[in-house]
Amino acid sequence: MHVFEEIFAEVPDPRDETAQHDLTEILFIALAAVLSGAQHCTQMAEFGTAKEQMLRQFLTLQYGIPSHDTFSRVFRWLDPEAFAAAFGRFVEAFGVAARRSKPAGVVAIDGKSLKGAYEAGRAHMPKMMVSAWGAETRMVLAQTEAPGGNEVQGALALLKLLSLKGCVVTADALHCHRAMAGAIRKTGADYALKLKGSQPALLADAEAALAAARRADRAATEDLAHGRLERRSAVVVAAPGLAQKHRFAGLTAVARIEASRTAAGKTSHRVYHVVLSRRFSARQVLKIVREHWSIENCLHWPLDVVFHEDFCRSRKDNGPRNLAVLRHIALNILRAHPKKGPLSHKRWHAGWNDTFLLDLMTHVR
């Protein structure tokens, strides 16, 4: 609890002086509840009531357990920037191999809509969070809300929160543009950005460079798992002059990836291109591209399937963003704990076993 208080003490209390419940205690109960399976503020209050005896071992709870309205008001009014900064301090304290200030390896950037977080009549415009994902450590490094649902602006803002020297930043074709390339290079990182028809001139020149190259590095992989056969091949060539011609900071090489998947007797094929700030080998490119997709499999999928994020209907003020940050904290805690097994099983055990819940909450390295 002492470490938790230190990390979140700088988050300003948005309530007036008549507020009864301590803010740090509210956040602690909320996090413990989410770790134990709670999905919304009503369940946080129910969790607190059910676990009051256990919580009183290290919380004062002078005015008892906060109501669901108190939890809701706190997360609606809480400064999201201050809460996100506290999340960063938490990653630094909780990181096993990577630190927020010193991430390593592939850092994947991608946005995810909070599909339940929309105002009445605006289901087509849900809130969106943009996350930086450490593929090597399987932890969320930082996140921010996309302003007005603009994922591009959200990604650019996210880069300012991280020191990425020595990393390789990956992103899909939406983020393959000059501003993104320049922002990544300013952090000291390299990039591998997927290139599609949204950049027709650059794509045409990349294809021409691949066709004209006399020397190219090639590699291929084949994987059979879960009844699927996946084949990937990559070819990488130098692309001199493209950086200057397209004002694309650091562009050094381009790659073409060909992928096929066979499952249930059906085969699908994909071909796409990647722009690179360093001439990685073809084998490295295949590894980088594959690691990028861990943000879908290891972050977005658990948020939907384990945390049921899309069913969260918090939509007022800062509630959606702050609760998303809380889920990211919980996900990092569950992944960092050495207990083997699926994330859903860890959440069940946290709800059933107070000793395991406390071990999760205190497992700071």
Are 17 and 80 part of one and the same domain? yes
Residues ≥6 apart with Cβ < 8 Å to 36 = 47, 347, 350, 351, 357
- Which domain-ending residue is among 220, 252, 279? 279
pLDDT of residue 102: 56
229, part of any domain? yes
344, part of any domain? yes
275, part of any domain? yes
CA pair distance 127, 74, nearest whole angstrom: 19
In this prediction, residues 45-59 reach a mean pLDDT of 95
Total domains in the chain come to 2
In this prediction, residues 172-195 reach a mean pLDDT of 96
76, part of any domain? yes
pLDDT of residue 95: 54
51, part of any domain? yes
Q: Residue 70 belongs to what domain range?
A: 2-85+314-362
In this prediction, residues 216-241 reach a mean pLDDT of 92
Are 275 and 319 part of one and the same domain? no
Are 210 and 273 part of one and the same domain? yes
CA pair distance 321, 242, nearest whole angstrom: 39
pLDDT of residue 155: 97
Question: pLDDT exceeding 70 applies to what percent of the chain?
Answer: 94
pLDDT-derived band of residue 120, with 50, 70 and 90 as boundaries? Answer: low
pLDDT of residue 314: 86
Give the pair of three-digit tokens for residue 349. 């055990």
- Sheet hosting strand 266-276, strand order edge to edge: 139-145, 127-134, 106-114, 168-171, 190-195, 266-276, 253-263, 228-238, 217-225
CA pair distance 210, 248, nearest whole angstrom: 18
- Which domain-ending residue is among 255, 279, 303? 279
Are 319 and 275 part of one and the same domain? no
200, part of any domain? yes
The answer to whether residue 45 scores a pLDDT higher than 70 is yes
pLDDT of residue 40: 93
CA pair distance 93, 87, nearest whole angstrom: 10
255, part of any domain? yes
- Which domain-ending residue is among 262, 279, 296? 279
* Top-confidence residue, 79 or 163: 79
* Top-confidence residue, 96 or 278: 278
341, part of any domain? yes
CATH label of the domain that carries residue 208: 3.30.1300
Q: For the chain, what is the mean pLDDT?
A: 91
Are 199 and 275 part of one and the same domain? yes
On whether the CB atoms of residues 53 and 44 are closer than 8 A, the answer is no
Question: pLDDT exceeding 90 applies to what percent of the chain?
Answer: 77
